Amino acid sequence: MDEIVIPLLLWFEENKRDLDWRKNRTPYTILVSEIMLQQTRVEAVRSYYKRFIEALPDFESLAKVDDIKLLKLWEGLGYYSRARNLKKCAIEVVDKYNGIFPNTYAEAIKLPGIGPYTCGAILSMGYQLRYAAVDGNVLRVLSRYTASSLDISLEKTKLYFKQEIEKIMPKEAGTFNESLMELGATICMPKITRCEDCPLRNTCKAYRQHRQLSYPIKAKPKEKKILEYTCLFITDGMNYILIPKEKDLLNGLPSPILIDHFITSNEAIEITQDLGFIVRNIEHLPEKKHIFTHQVWYMKGYKLYVKNLLNYPNYTKEQILEELGISSCFRKFLDDLWN
């Protein structure tokens, strides 16, 4: 594959997108951008990245930020465990490495939230060390280029391509990794290929076979799990009870009282009364649907007016909108909640 290096570097220099995280390249900004870009589109990340870096410009500020502010900055990106791991990583970098991201693979890979891809991305782009950063775009490009029959969903396939890339890695390691990712994101895309604009088309096996969309090979994904929930939004007319979940998908995020099945309004009143509240009124909210990567949630909602909120954690409308980071699945109820 060594013949791809120079064409890719030349193409990237002429065609790379203007992205904020490519301007002030430091291990910290690379880390933040790469974690944000995991399972999120580039266009969706642009505004979040700028806001995040302005609020938390370095490892020290990220390590010290309180969780409420952190989750608020992350709100809308989903997969909130990424934000928590980002903070854990920053704390360890500050405590163990005096705020400087380690420049060895052995040390970097042990940090919270750092996997082979992120590790390779930071070390190559931040320190120009010759490590590969193999993401879905890279796997797609190289699978097509070599007409590979390997299943890209397998870890051993990712390791194979990582090793192959590192055999041909030039001294411009970070730029080369970016060029591969950029080609996959803008030219060699999942369902559409712009082969006429590809610098590798003359030596690409899939192109020569006219079978570009036959690659990469990937096992059929598992069907999404269907779940039903009822959300109880308990209010005294001013504040609303939101309780951090202690496990599962939304671990640590504020949420309404969540029942893991559909219930009637009478059952909602009974459950609320069992929690110690005096219920004055109940309103039925329109049902919602939210799609996660591996789950689909169908949600019923009730707004319950109670005499007082007892000692449960509660927040004003303004706090919920401006300060709290809550999952977008619950935010779907907010317009109905306040109309």
Q: Which of 13, 34, 270, 283 is catalytic?
A: 34
**Which amino acid would we find at residue 17?**
R
| 27 to 30, 137, 203, 237, 309: CA distances (angstroms) | 5, 21, 34, 47, 46
104 vs 128, 172, 227, CA distance in Å? 12, 17, 43
- Bridge partners, residue 303, by sequence: 233, 283
Read off the amino acid at residue 8. L
Take residue 262 and report the two structure tokens written for it.
């559909």
34 is an active site residue: yes
Fill in the amino acid letter for 222: K
Q: What tokens were used for 235?
A: 């209010």
CA atoms within 13 A on the CB side of 123: 22
DSSP class per residue in 27-96:
HHHHHHHHHHHTTS-HHHHHHHHHHHHHH--SHHHHHH--HHHHHHHHTTS--THHHHHHHHHHHHHHHH
Helix (H) or strand (E) holding 272: helix 265-274
Exposure pattern of 43-77 as b/e (b: 16+ CB <10 Å)?
A: eebeebbeebbeebeebbebbebeeeebbbbbbeb
Rounded alpha-carbon distances, angstroms, from residue 140 to 104, 144, 153, 308: 28, 6, 11, 56
Which helix (H) or strand (E) segment is 334 a member of?
helix 334-337
Residues listed for the chain? 339
Please list, in sequence order, all residues whose beta carbon lies within 8 angstroms of the beta carbon of residue 89, skipping any fewer than 6 positions away.
31, 111, 112, 113, 114
- Chain-centroid distance, C-alpha 167: 30
Active-site residues, by number, are 34
